[in-house]
Amino acid sequence: MPEAKPDRVAARGRLAVDAEICIGCRACEAACSLAHEGYIAPSLSRIRVKRSPLNGPDFTPQQCHQCVEPACMAACPVDAIGLDGDPAYAVVVDKEACTGCGSCVDACPYDPPRITLDEARGAA
């Protein structure tokens, strides 16, 4: 097991990832969706594992960046996205208020977007 690195500390409400030890198993995607959605659906995970474009052995875990000024939050026409905590530290979606319009997904500056729509539920 790799030695713990003191500069990589998990913050409350945020996901800390050590890309140097990612082996691309995608278990984090399954665990995340199970914890947050109640079932395994990697497409709804808050973390995605991307393989190198040359299909090499390199993998890059990509998670929500918890932006200081989230574009997804600004784009939401019904204010279903907000910041949680004191001080505000985590981007959260009110699933009851979300209309599933997709504005937040379109506004995310990352590729793939760090916010996804659950087609079955019709909400982010």
Residue-wise pLDDT tens digits, 19-70: 788 888 889 889 888 887 788 988 888 788 887 777 666 788 877 777 778 8
Give mean pLDDT, residues 108-115: 79
Q: Quick one: 77 and 116 in the same domain?
A: yes
Cα(38)–Cα(45) distance, integer angstroms: 11
pTM: 0.67
pLDDT digits (tens, 9 = 90+) for 68-110: 788 999 999 999 988 876 656 677 888 889 999 999 989 988 8
Domain endpoint, select from 38, 63, 88 = 63
Q: Choose one of 63, 83, 107: the last residue of a domain.
A: 63
Helix, strand, or coil here: 71? Answer: helix
Q: Which residues pair with 93 in a beta bridge?
A: 81
| CA dist., res. 37 & res. 119, Å (int) | 13
Whether omega for the bond prior to residue 53 falls within 30 degrees of 0, making it cis, is no
Same domain, 51 and 93: no
- 47 with 94, same domain: the answer is no
Q: Helix (H, G, I), strand (E, B), or coil: what is residue 83? A: strand
Select from 88, 124, 95 the least CA-distant residue to 107.
Answer: 124
Residues 39 and 78 both lie in one domain: no
Check residues 113 and 14 and name the one with the higher pLDDT: 113
Query: Quick one: pLDDT at residue 55?
Result: 61
Q: What is the pLDDT of residue 5?
A: 38
In a shared domain, residues 72 and 59:
no
Owning domain of residue 19: 1-63
Q: Domain containing 80 — which CATH number?
A: 3.30.70.20
Mean of pLDDT values over 5-21: 56
Q: Is the dihedral of CA 82, 84, 90, 94 positive or negative?
A: negative
Length of the chain: 124
What is the count of structural domains for the chain? 2
* 74 & 105 share domain: yes
